[in-house]
Amino acid sequence: MRLAAAMLCLAAVALSGCVDTVFESLPGKHISQCDQRFVGTWRLLNQEKDRKADENLFLVVDPGCKTLHLFENGKDDTDTDAKTHLAFASVGAKSILTVKFDDEQSHTDGVDWSNGYHYFLYDMRNGEIRLRPTDDAAVAHFIIDGKLQGRTEKISKMPGGQRSGDGMMLHSYVAGDSEAMAKAVELRGVFAATPYFTLKPASDAEISASAKPLPTSK
């Protein structure tokens, strides 16, 4: 269910293992555990050119945003449900969805450059929720230029000549407290210029219809 998880975190690392931007803290002081507009049943849609592959991905957000359910082909991924945590932030005029996944790795050196929050700028239009992820390349440049504090790395080839997946890997970690994160999201260019994912209203019947039929016994 990695693809379904990717639809929530909207981070390309979950889609292809290529890019990822993580923020250490929640942004600002105005944090809520729920935006009631997210409560309901949704079909998760990728960019237009990729929508065919995503047509059987659904998200159900329970009242109060206390529990979420990720469905792929009619099956609820309860393991991902339990490990995924949402929070909603308001920074100036920006509405930001944050997603955090439970960290299962142990870090013996005491430094964890992976466990943090993914940020997504969102707005409502015609009953749909449009989500814009961070612009990973822009964030990497902000760190290099000193506009943001943290760490960024680009890997195009692994030791021994092995290439990393389909191309380069780009990972950025923005470090700081909630005040620093609020300033970060106000930087021009931190978020992608256009929506990458859309939550479209759906029904339980659509989830059931998306289930793959069980193989018939011969």
CA dist 21 and 139 (Å) reads: 8
pTM: 0.82
Both structure tokens of 43? 């079909």
Domain ranges of the chain: 2-103+111-209
> Structure tokens of 61?
């957000």
- Give CA–CA dist 182/185, Å, rounded: 5
Does 16 or 161 have the greater pLDDT score?
Answer: 161
| Residues contacting residue 78 through CB under 8 Å, at least 6 positions apart | 69
Which pLDDT value is given to residue 49?
Answer: 57
DSSP H or E segment with residue 124? strand 118-125
Residue 191: beta bridge partners?
134
Query: Do residues 70 and 8 touch, judged by C-beta distance below 8 A?
Result: yes
What is the spatial distance between Cα 113 and Cα 115, in angstroms, rounded to a whole number?
A: 6
Question: What letters, b where the CB count within 10 A reaches 16 and e where it falls short, cover 18-35?
Answer: bbbbbbbbbbbeeeeebb
Please name which of 29, 21, 34 lies closest in space to residue 180, comparing C-alpha atoms: 29
pLDDT tens digit string along 132-184? Answer: 989 999 999 999 999 999 999 987 776 766 554 545 578 899 999 999 999 99
Q: 99-115, pLDDT tens digit by residue?
A: 888 766 555 455 667 78
Asked if residue 94 has pLDDT above 50, the reply is yes
